[in-house]
Amino acid sequence: MAASFSLAGKTALVTGANTGLGQAIAVALAEAGADIAAVGRSSAADTGRMVEAAGRRFVEIRADLGDPSIVGDVVDEAAAALGGVDILVNNAGIIRRNDALEFTEEDWDQVMNVNLKSVFFLSQAVARHMVEKGKGGKIINIASMLSFQGGIRVASYTSSKSGVAGLTKLLANEWASKGINVNAIAPGYFATNNTDALRADETRNREILARIPAGRWGAPEDLGGAAVFLSSPAADYVHGTVLAVDGGWLSR
């Protein structure tokens, strides 16, 4: 059974892998046997050290995914460095907070470009590579609790993550026959820089914790098992799912 979850000989492109959820996912994939290409705007040196400590190769690609026109170059660079891309994890994301009455076009566009537009075009570029190689592959998108709920004061984030859930299903429909599995993970409330404002607000922090049956914020490492599963042969017949890793939030 362990072989079903092995990623030995695989290569993974992980966006936003310099910290937080992306870093935890990249390290988990490396510990399962995958070589890692990390994409981000800032240094992923800490991630690189952890990946290499797991005995895997690591390549860092500096890129601003707010400019989706660069995604083809990103995929080409990763494939050239590692000999191909077998797994794509679309983790990079940003958030902007404001009342809907005051929300700006700039904050709307910045979030949508990173969180949704780049997800599609990175997936397209990687899928073209996978189809050309004829060996299929795995694509994992990072959705959100706000793929299911509305939230407040995060209009572009909610819209982008709802779009990620829908896009995951569409791509699964189109690419399953090509041997490409497209799925998503929807993290619940995790302790990352994206949730600093919520955790610093005593009232919101208390309200959120009161609803989570597990009784705590998620740690980035809590996503590792789900990412390894969806990247592995164990998930070969899993297509178009949005897997909640939320401490039971949606069940409450």
Indicate which residues carry an active-site annotation.
157
H/E stretch holding 185: strand 180-187
Q: Residue 209 in contact with residue 199, Cβ under 8 Å?
A: no
Residue 27: Cβ-neighbour burial (10 angstroms; 0-12, 13-18, 19+): buried
Q: Residue 220 in contact with residue 194, Cβ under 8 Å?
A: no
H/E stretch holding 173: helix 155-175
Q: What does the DSSP assignment read for 110-151?
A: HHHIIIIIHHHHHHHHHHHHHHHHTS-EEEEEE--GGGTS--
Residue type, 206: R
Judged by DSSP in three states, 66 sits in coil
Contacts of 158 (CB under 8 A, 6+ apart): 146, 149, 150, 151
